[in-house]
């Protein structure tokens, strides 16, 4: 997609609900994915772009990290701490462009292909109100 400036950023700290973890941020066409590097048993955090309500760039921390705050429509707050300003700006601009869609047909529901594909059925014949 045109909106993705950087597809993957390694060595990112993620602060969520009082815990901090080191990992990798992946940007896809429809999701922001955080993969935990320090704990392989932990599941990845997938955030669909339509779920993001606010992305804020904050000033540098005392440790020299560049934070991005992500607030979702489910009232979650996630802080991503990047080691360089360029990485933070690239992720910020990419997320900013990918959260705004020009058409409904650009949403994930129109791109999803199940594996294995669903079998074609005549759904209208499954229920008959006359038989009930």
Residue pair 89/79 in contact (Cβ under 8 Å)? The answer is no
Cis peptide preceding 116, ω within 30 of 0: yes
Per-residue confidence band for 2, with pLDDT thresholds at 50, 70 and 90:
low
65-108 pLDDT, tens digit per residue, is 999 999 999 999 999 999 999 999 999 999 999 998 878 888 88
On whether residue 114 sits in a domain, the answer given is: no
On whether residue 38 sits in a domain, the answer given is: yes
Residue pair 12/82 in contact (Cβ under 8 Å)? The answer is yes
> pTM to 2 decimals?
0.80
From the list 65, 62, 72, the residue with the least C-alpha distance to 32 is 72
What is the residue range of 63's domain?
8-101
On whether residue 91 sits in a domain, the answer given is: yes
What letter does residue 120 receive in the DSSP assignment? Answer: P
On whether residue 45 sits in a domain, the answer given is: yes
Mean pLDDT over 13-21 rounds to 94
- Residue 40's domain is classified under what CATH number? 2.30.29.30
Q: What is the torsional sign of CA 84, 88, 89, 90?
A: positive
Q: In total, how many domains does the chain have?
A: 1
On whether residue 108 sits in a domain, the answer given is: no
On whether residue 111 sits in a domain, the answer given is: no
């Amino acid at each position: 997609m045109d909106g993705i400036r950087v597809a993957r950023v390694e060595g990112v700290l993620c602060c969520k609900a009082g815990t901090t973890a080191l990992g990798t941020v992946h940007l896809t066409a429809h999701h922001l994915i955080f993969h935990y590097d320090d704990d392989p048993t932990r599941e990845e955090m997938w955030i669909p772009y339509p779920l993001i309500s606010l992305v804020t760039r904050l000033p540098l921390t005392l440790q020299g990290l560049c934070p991005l705050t992500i607030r979702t429509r489910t009232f979650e707050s996630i802080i991503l701490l990047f080691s360089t300003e360029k990485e933070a700006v690239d992720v910020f601009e990419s997320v900013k462009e990918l959260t705004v869609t020009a058409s409904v047909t650009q949403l994930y529901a129109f791109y999803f292909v199940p594996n294995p594909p669903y079998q074609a059925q005549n759904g209208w014949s499954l229920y008959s109100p006359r038989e009930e």
